[in-house]
Structure 1
Amino acid sequence: MLTFEEAVRALAALDVGARATRVERIPLARARGRVLAEDIAIDQDQPGFDRATMDGFAVCLDGQQRSFRIRGVVTAGTTFEGTLAPGEAVRIMTGAPAPAETTVVPIERTTFEEGQATVEVDHVPDAGRNVAWRGEDAHAGDVLVARGTRLAPAHLSVAAMAGAVDAAVFQRPVVSVVTTGDEVGGTGAAAIRDSNGPLLDGLLDALGADVQRRHARDDEGELAGALEDAAASADIIVTTGGVSMGTHDLVPSMLDRLGFETVFHKVQVQPGKPVLVAARGDGALFIGLPGNPVSVLATAHLFLFPALGHFLGGWAPRWIEVPMASDYSHDGRRHLFLPASIETGGLRPASWNGSGDLIAAAAADGLVELPVGATFRAGDPARFLPYIGHSIGERAVLPPRQR
């Protein structure tokens, strides 16, 4: 059985061949959530001119003089034709080009009346105040959005400012999810509602994958048919359940007939020890997740998403360090990834009823990494992986037992 670190290295070494370089160009308006395949560089200095940062008067200083002759008005989108001599000024609006050698005095620091020829300022400002200088944010040719960025609205705004109208992005990998089990979606007292399918639909959609989903009962023929259909078109086949040691855990036996070779099966982690990863010569991958819903949530973040990153220019989920809110020790025998919430005071691991307690896990903000034997004092930093598609702090208020 691999350690978590060994499994991470094995995932990083996967080779998906030409599937890793499939790129398309789409309008910026449709690029949110996609992974950028080429750097976006700005085509001009930003700002492109010396820009007033507030409404007021652009004055050409003349020693300690506080009275300036008004030469005109400059609004956003217009320019002042000519130059100002010392002791002269123009009325200027936020965002307008400031004439050369001027300083902007805020409107509230001036005294004037409409139509009069001069403006009085209540102080002599430092030269160059309230002006954003040409190129101070970026110079023409600077990369503003780097390859591998998952495009959020702010990135799209910066890209548009840089002059881009479209973006080269990695094509959406096709992920076929096959949930398994007689108990899932059935009827009767022992039936279990399908929570894994919607979970993976949402997570994979947030990551920019095209998701196909089907269900197979614990029947060798039905499962084989579902997996063969999935293998015909998918870049990644994802199964939930059927990878452990039970009599109905049929997934591992299907790999040979589908042309996949096992990379690893079982990792020393909790939850999700039975996770399975396999690869095929044409670059397709097979990720077998356990059936327990919290195990699916955890192993999707720990193993599925790094595998998906091979189709997205090497993108990977981002771990951060967050201080622990209180003392915590892990005396278990496996590398633990425990749901935890970021709260006032730091990171607080969930109080849960084990890896079947989806309610407590879903109320958390992500997973805290707790190696075997780890001991934390309040304030010690811990590695934390935020849930994909989840806004930290936007969670249900749950009873104390589950928090």
Structure 2
Amino acid sequence: MTELISIAEAEALVAEHMPSFGSERVTLDRAAGRILRQRVHAEHDHPPFDRVMMDGIAVSWRASLPRAFTIGGAQMAGMALQTLADDSGCIEVTTGAMLPAGCDCVVPVEQVRREAGTYHLIDGYQPSRGQFIHPRGSDCVAGTLLLEAGMRIGAPEAALLAANGVASVEVGKTPSIAIVSTGDELVDVESSLGEGQIRRSNDIAIATALRLHGFDRVALEHIADDIAATQDTLGRLLGAYDVLILSGGVSMGQRDYVPAALDALGVRRVFHRIAQRPGKPMWFGIGPGQQAVFALPGNPVSALVCAIRYVRPALLVALGMTPAPKEYVRLEADVDGNAMLTCFVPAYVQTDAQGWSMARPVPARTSGDFSALPHTHGVVQLPPGNACTPAGTAVEFYRW
């Protein structure tokens, strides 16, 4: 029997052997959610000019500022730079406009009243020099590093890319992924159930966990419990996809054909079996064409735990994403553990009055019991060595 390896060893071995999927250039409108594979510097000063921050009037400030100003022109957003010719006058301005030359103070429209061609300050209002002006380069100067490779492109990142003229973005290339369910008992979602049958759900769950993080090149396959069919189908998929994720057929049973079929196809085993519950039978290897192959247990909770704990993080890093810091929560209640195995327990998480994320364990009765998972946010990871992990303990947390 293959020796069990630890959680840390499994994580390190996956990281060490995962291939890179390379990069590609996409237009900015197709970059949402993708992993940036280039550094982005400021094309120019931000803002690129002294920017008006309020609708109102721009004036030249001085200690003996008059209370009335003759209108000397207008500076609207997008207009070429205007100049205040008479420092006893003013220029009407709008938010986002360039600050007119000769002006160093903006008075909001709420603090003035207009009478014909003159603006009067509201009684008691005292403006100050530099108010409501966003100075040129105060956010950043030209050449400043704005975005690092490895960041996920969300709304703020997309805004910076657009503002700096990056219309074509280098991003991690999304791999093609085949998710394969094995077992004679499995039928399609649309099918009626016969005696001894269940509907396929592991492949749907794993695909959803990946699609939520930008992996949209996913195909679903099914293999019956037959050694020849298993080897033929896996051989075909290895020739067509960058990543294979299998569910079922990976344990030690008489009809668990996956490890033998992968070995016959030249897929090099990196490890098989992890000291954890659920998910102990997990298998990982690399195909002859550098395909990443993850073979997960067939029980639903086991498969999903392995997918979010190992598969999804490894795929994101292979895209070029900077590894996220581990998330920790405190246990609301004591949780049964295991002296020899790392345990993963579904949990509901909420924030307490002190700002701590508190996890309320919702243990599954078995690794096949996934009916309560929609009422949880993910799983807590309980280290081995304790029959019980007490309430208040800080533990790692992995979200669905």
TM range (shorter): 0.7 to 0.9
Match of 2:43 in 1: 43
- Work out the CA distance in 2 between the residues paired with 1:159 and 1:103: 31
Q: What does the per-residue CA deviation read over 1:152-198, in whole Å, with 9 as the maximum and x for residues that have no partner? A: 23322221112111211122211111110111117324211111121
Q: Structure 1: how far apart are the matches of 2:119 and 2:131?
A: 20
Match of 1:59 in 2: 59
Match of 2:369 among 350, 357, 360: 357
Change (3 A) 1:68 1:371: farther
Deviation at 1:77, TM superposition (A): 1.0
In 1, the alpha carbon distance for the partners of 2:272 and 2:236 equals 23
Cα distance in 1 for partners of 2:170, 2:114 equals 52
Would you say 1:264 and 2:271 are equivalent positions? yes
Aligned mate of 2:287, from 280, 292, 301: 280
Q: CA RMSD in A?
A: 2.4
**Does the 8 Å CA contact 2:283/2:294 hold for their aligned counterparts?**
yes
Residue in 2 that maps onto 1:295: 302
Find out whether 1:244 has 2:251 as its counterpart.
yes
Indicate the larger mover: 258-267 or 97-106.
Answer: 97-106
> 1:88: which partner in 2?
89
Structure 2 CA distance for aligned equivalents of residues 14 and 191 of structure 1: 37
Bigger mean CA deviation after superposition, 360-369 or 29-38: 360-369
Contact 1:26-1:168 at 8 Å conserved across structures: yes
The percentage of aligned residue pairs carrying the same residue is 30
SS in structure 1 at match of 2:169 = strand
Structure 1 counterpart of 2:372, which letter? Answer: A
Deviates more, 1:239-248 or 1:348-357: 348-357
Partner of 2:77: 76
Assess, with a 3 A threshold, how the Cα gap between structure 1 residues 116 and 317 changes in structure 2: closer, same or farther: same
* Distance apart, 1:95 and its partner CA: 0.9
Residue 11 (structure 2) pairs with residue 13 (structure 1): no
1:229 counterpart = 2:240: no
Answering whether residue 370 of structure 2 is matched by residue 368 of structure 1, we say no
Instruction: State the alpha-carbon separation in 2 of the partners of residues 153 and 318 from structure 1.
Output: 21
Q: SS at the partner of 1:359?
A: coil
In structure 2, distance between residues paired with 1:263 and 1:212 = 24
For residues 329 and 202 of structure 1, the distance between their equivalents in structure 2, rounded to whole angstroms, comes to: 28
The equivalent of 1:192 in structure 2 is: 198
Matching residue of 2:113: 111
Secondary structure of the residue aligned to 1:356 is: coil
In structure 1, the residue matched to 2:131 is 129
- Distance change >3 Å, CA 328–CA 132, structure 1 → 2: farther
Q: Secondary structure at the match of 1:112?
A: strand
Aligned amino acid, residue 60 of structure 2: C
Structure 1 runs not aligned, ≥5 long = 388-403
Residues 364-383 of structure 1: per-residue CA shift (max 9 Å, x gap):
223322223374554x6443
From the superposition, tell whether residues 315 and 80 of structure 1 become closer, same or farther in structure 2 (CA, over 3 Å): closer
Deviates more, 1:77-86 or 1:364-373: 77-86
CA distance in 1, matches of 2:136, 2:399: 38
Q: Is the 8 A contact 2:248 2:256 kept in 1?
A: yes
Say which SS state the counterpart of residue 208 (structure 1) adopts. coil
**Does the 8 Å CA contact 2:18/2:314 hold for their aligned counterparts?**
no
Paired residues of 2:47 and 2:138 also in contact (CA < 8 A): yes
Count the aligned residue pairs.
Answer: 381
Change (3 A) 1:106 1:330: farther
Task: Report the 3-state secondary structure (helix = DSSP H, G, I; strand = E; otherwise coil) of the residue aligned with 1:332.
Answer: coil
Could you say which residue in structure 2 is the equivalent of 1:202?
Answer: 208
